[in-house]
């Protein structure tokens, strides 16, 4: 384990009785070019299916996993993925906690986004398919959104756009505003975030 601190949030959940799974599907770095570039022009469809397939395979092999009470959580791109997974696959994920989600990649760092999606002008359909706003009205599972008000990576306007879309569609959600930036360097604040995440998932998944 190269960086044990990277697993503290997962350990926090595990200590409270959750089985925590983390899967590197197509699109994640560190494998090869084709694996990482599988998300070209579409950040969500292939990775989401990989996560669903991986979760179901684990459930088949590990009888202690109750796939009828599965949740999902993540931060930054993981927050984006969580919002998408909770919205688009309510048959799999019963609740989600989305931290600092990138809601519309037209509002994110062009050096990263345009490497995969091209420009919004040249590839409008790629941005439409990749945006959480395209699917927000379909949200039917509990979703907690957490975002630092001074986030200097994924700007808070992303969560503002998402909440506006959910309000317009009449979809319920919860929002936790944080006095911090993207990485939340304050250990006390991070602890409170961990507590809020675990509490929300416990309430929504153990029913």
As a whole number of angstroms, the distance between CA 156 and CA 48 comes to: 24
The residue annotated as part of the active site, out of 104, 131, 147, 151, is 151
Residue 63 CB: number of other CB atoms within 10 A? 7
Tokens of 77: 């791109």
**76, 104, 147, 159: the active-site residue:** 76
Separation in Å, CA 1 to CA 6, 12, 24, 54, 126: 9, 17, 16, 22, 36
* β pairing state of 143-148 and 174-178: parallel
List 50, 69, 182, 194, catalytic entry: 182
Q: How far apart are CA 129 and CA 155, in angstroms?
A: 20
Distance CA 87, CA 101 (A): 13
C-alpha 138 chain-centroid distance: 16
Is 15 catalytic? The answer is: no
Q: Report angle CA 6, 155, 73 to the nearest 5 degrees.
A: 40
Angle at 42 between CA 76 and CA 177, to 5 degrees: 20
For residue 182, indicate whether it is catalytic: yes
Catalytic residue ranges: 76, 151, 182
């Amino acid at each position: 384990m190269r960086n044990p601190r990277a697993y503290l949030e997962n350990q926090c959940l595990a200590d409270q009785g959750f089985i925590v799974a983390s899967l590197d599907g197509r699109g994640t770095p560190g494998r090869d070019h084709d694996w990482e570039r599988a998300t070209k022009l579409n950040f969500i469809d292939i990775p989401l299916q990989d996560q669903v397939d991986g979760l179901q395979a684990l459930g088949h092999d590990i009888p202690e996993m109750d796939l009828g009470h599965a949740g999902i959580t993540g931060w930054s791109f993981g927050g984006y993925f969580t919002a998408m997974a909770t919205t688009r696959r309510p048959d799999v994920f019963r609740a989600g906690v989305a931290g600092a989600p990138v809601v519309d990649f037209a509002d994110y760092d062009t050096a990263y986004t345009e490497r995969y999606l091209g420009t919004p002008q040249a590839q409008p359909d790629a941005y439409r398919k990749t945006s959480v706003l395209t699917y927000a009205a379909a949200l039917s599972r509990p979703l907690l959104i957490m975002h630092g008000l001074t986030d200097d990576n994924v700007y808070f306007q992303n969560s503002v756009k998402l909440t506006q879309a959910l309000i317009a569609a009449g979809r319920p959600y919860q929002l936790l505003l944080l006095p911090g930036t993207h990485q939340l360097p304050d250990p006390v604040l991070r602890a409170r975030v961990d507590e809020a995440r675990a509490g929300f998932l416990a309430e929504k998944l153990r029913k």
